[in-house]
């Protein structure tokens, strides 16, 4: 059998582009199918989705935050990895009451609330417990701190307190 003819660099490059286009088309096709499926099956939360959510609580929360941010046309998109790094940096303690949290109980607080034009980027996120996050809600941080007599600590907070005053 004859060995296959060696391809010129131009042919190789063209081959790569063809492959890439094929890949993008396929990816688009899958995406469109998924959109149609979701549109025609409203409210259906597949077993796989539910399992993914339970297994990846940080990523699921980041996704929910992104949805809320999009509705408010907020910029920024923090990732689960960034949030986990922030939690590590904060020793998994609530930035407002120092409660020790875990992957299930931790929440991402938007320091400047999305409803007040805050970004969804990691620089606007603080590690929070559910209670503080819920109580703070959309109160500007300096006001909430002065009302509750608390001090905020942890990464992102000092610069944000200063910039929002």
| Residue of 74, 86, 127, 129 that binds Zn ion (CB under 5 A) | 129
3-state secondary structure of 127: strand
Decide whether 87 or 132 has the Cβ nearer to Zn ion: 132
Smallest gap from Cβ 131 to Zn ion, in A, equals 5
Sign (positive or negative) of CA dihedral 56, 74, 134, 145 = positive
Q: Which stretch binds Zn ion (CB under 5 A): 30-38, 44-52, 71-79, 128-136?
A: 128-136
- Does residue 157 bind Zn ion (CB under 5 A)? no
Smallest gap from Cβ 118 to Zn ion, in A, equals 19
Tokens of 64: 């929910």
Q: Which residues pair with 126 in a beta bridge?
A: 109
| Residue of 74, 94, 106, 141 that binds Zn ion (CB under 5 A) | 94
Q: Are 83 and 59 in contact (CB under 8 A)?
A: no
| Chain-centre distance for alpha carbon 117 | 17
* Letter string b/e over residues 93-108, b meaning 16 or more CB atoms within 10 A of that residue's CB: bbbbebeebeeeebbb
Smallest gap from Cβ 36 to Zn ion, in A, equals 42
| Residue of 62, 86, 96, 108 that binds Zn ion (CB under 5 A) | 96
Decide whether 62 or 106 has the Cβ nearer to Zn ion: 106
Which residue, chain included where needed, has tokens 């020793």? 91
| Residue of 59, 66, 97, 161 that binds Zn ion (CB under 5 A) | 97
Round to whole Å and give the CA distance between 127 and 45: 28
Q: Which stretch binds Zn ion (CB under 5 A): 61-69, 96-104, 114-122, 135-143?
A: 96-104
* Site of interaction with Zn ion (CB under 5 A): 94, 96-97, 129, 132
């Amino acid at each position: 059998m004859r060995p296959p003819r060696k391809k010129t660099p131009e042919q190789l490059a063209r081959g790569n582009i063809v492959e890439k286009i094929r890949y993008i088309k396929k990816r688009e096709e899958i995406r469109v199918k998924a959109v149609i499926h979701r549109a025609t099956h409203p409210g259906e939360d597949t077993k796989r989705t539910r399992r993914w959510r339970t297994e990846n609580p940080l990523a699921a929360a980041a996704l929910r935050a992104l949805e809320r941010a999009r509705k408010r046309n907020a910029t920024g998109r923090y990732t689960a990895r960034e949030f986990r790094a922030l939690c590590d940096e904060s020793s998994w303690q609530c930035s407002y009451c120092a409660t020790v949290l875990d992957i299930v109980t931790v929440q991402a607080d938007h320091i400047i609330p999305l409803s007040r034009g805050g970004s969804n980027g990691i620089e606007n996120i603080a590690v929070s417990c559910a209670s503080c996050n819920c109580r703070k809600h959309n109160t500007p941080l300096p006001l909430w701190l002065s009302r509750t007599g608390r001090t905020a600590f942890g990464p992102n907070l000092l610069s944000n307190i200063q910039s929002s005053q």
